[in-house]
Amino acid sequence: MTTWTSTDTDRFIKEVQLFETLDEQAHMKLIQRAEVRNFPAGKAVISRGETGSSLFVVAQGEVRVTLEGPKGNLEVSTLKVGDFFGEIAMMTQAHRTATVTTLTDTLLLEFAAAAILPLLEQFPDFKKHIARTGVQRSCESLEKMIED
């Protein structure tokens, strides 16, 4: 895995769609608060049932999202660079609803709720984007579980 620098974090946050509605000051706060996390292929990043207090953005690599269905684990999506996960538990302070496992060596940017939640109130379009993605994923997951 390549070395990730603060310059890489700066560039990534300014380019990724998730953060496009935020202003420069918000970008700077996120850059300062981003925790760079490296995971080897096959490693669980989060597990269903854990308490969630952060949001992750895929900076390099791919991850698989699985849910527990009536017939066992069900893959519901694959997330790539620029995609995010962990938003539902972070926003609701609830338990994680899915398990996310790396498919490749993966670099994630992790943002604690304390960094993200104030921005949701300050930037309504940011909040809408995260909420809409969460609802869309929930619907897609439900459809896959019904099909299974």
DSSP structural state of residue 103: S
Q: Which alpha helices (DSSP H) does the chain contain, by range?
A: 6-15, 24-33, 87-92, 113-122, 124-147
**pLDDT per residue as tens digits for the range 60-90:** 999 999 988 777 788 889 999 999 999 988 9
* Global pTM value: 0.90
Domain residue spans of the chain: 6-147
From the list 91, 112, 87, 86, the residue with the least C-alpha distance to 32 is 112
Cα separation, 105 vs 133, whole angstroms:
25
Q: How far is CA 90 from CA 16, 102, 131, 147, in A?
A: 20, 20, 11, 28
Q: Which CATH class is domain 6-147?
A: mainly beta
Count the residues in the chain.
148
In degrees rounded to 5, what are phi and psi of residue 103?
Answer: -95, -30
Q: 85-135 pLDDT, tens per residue?
A: 999 889 888 899 899 999 999 999 999 999 999 999 999 999 998 888 877
pLDDT tens for residues 18-77?
999 999 999 999 999 999 999 999 999 999 999 989 999 999 999 999 988 777 788 889
What is the Cα gyration radius of the chain? Answer: 15
